[in-house]
């Protein structure tokens, strides 16, 4: 019988995310954000481009949080941005420096509306989980149809995330 490792999902802004990529909160001003105002509106966008090449916008519906994660994928040719619609999601990531994701190195973070997570090239990641059930989220990355997406089993996996702090705030 396979043992499932329980992993606490942490708020994205409580984690040093630099070894996985970078994060911007578009609901507030900050170093990563440019802000503009008008009568009755506020606009914020990321200071630097999400990608260094043309990208494709996609929509994935991720599983419920109770679903164990057995394998992760990575993209060695592009960064990938993840952002949710109206409901928060959780993503599990692992460093890019190994040939397979290692369970003890996996970090799970909550992405809330307004957060933009940009994964570095080669960073291992799973599909985003919904906090309360299957949940759609956006991704933005360069797609190369000549490259097959490879999913590698998690060494010492599978993993299931939990929310000790409620909804990850």
* CATH number (domain holding residue 148): 2.60.120.480
How far, CA to CA in Å, does 152 sit from each of 48, 99, 169?
A: 31, 9, 30
Residue position matching structure tokens 């040939």: 99
Q: Is residue 167 part of a domain?
A: no
Q: Is residue 169 part of a domain?
A: no
Averaged pLDDT for residues 102-124: 96
Residues above pLDDT 70, as percent of the chain: 96
Averaged pLDDT for residues 96-125: 96
Per-residue pLDDT at 1 exceeds 60: no
Sequence-separated (6 or more) residues with CB below 8 Å from residue 40:
none
Q: Is residue 152 part of a domain?
A: yes
Tally of domains within the chain: 1
Q: Can you give the pTM of this predicted structure? A: 0.92
Q: Take residue 86 and report the two structure tokens written for it.
A: 């109206």
The predicted structure's pLDDT at residue 57: 97
The predicted structure's pLDDT at residue 148: 84
Q: Is residue 126 part of a domain?
A: yes
Averaged pLDDT for residues 70-93: 96
The predicted structure's pLDDT at residue 129: 96
Domain span at 118? 5-162
Confidence grade of residue 29 (pLDDT, cut at 50, 70, 90): confident
Residue 92 · residue 108 · CB < 8 Å: yes
Per-residue pLDDT at 167 exceeds 80: no
Q: Is residue 47 part of a domain?
A: yes
Confidence grade of residue 169 (pLDDT, cut at 50, 70, 90): low
């Amino acid at each position: 019988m396979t043992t499932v490792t329980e992993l606490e999902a942490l708020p994205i802004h409580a984690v040093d995310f630099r070894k996985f990529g970078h994060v911007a909160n578009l609901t507030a001003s900050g170093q990563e954000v440019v802000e503009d105002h008008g009568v009755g509106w506020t606009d914020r966008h990321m200071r630097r481009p999400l990608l260094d090449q043309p990208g494709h916008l996609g929509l994935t519906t991720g599983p419920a949080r109770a679903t164990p994660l057995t394998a992760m994928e990575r993209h060695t040719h592009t960064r990938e941005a993840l952002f949710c619609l109206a409901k928060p999601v959780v993503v599990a990531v692992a460093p890019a420096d190994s040939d397979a994701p290692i369970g003890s190195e996996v970090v799970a973070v909550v992405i809330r509306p307004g957060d933009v997570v940009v994964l570095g090239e080669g960073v291992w990641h799973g599909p985003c989980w919904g906090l309360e059930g299957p949940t759609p989220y956006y991704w933005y990355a360069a797609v190369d149809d000549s490259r097959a997406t490879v999913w590698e089993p998690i060494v010492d996996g599978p993993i299931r995330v939990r929310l000790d702090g409620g909804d990850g705030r």
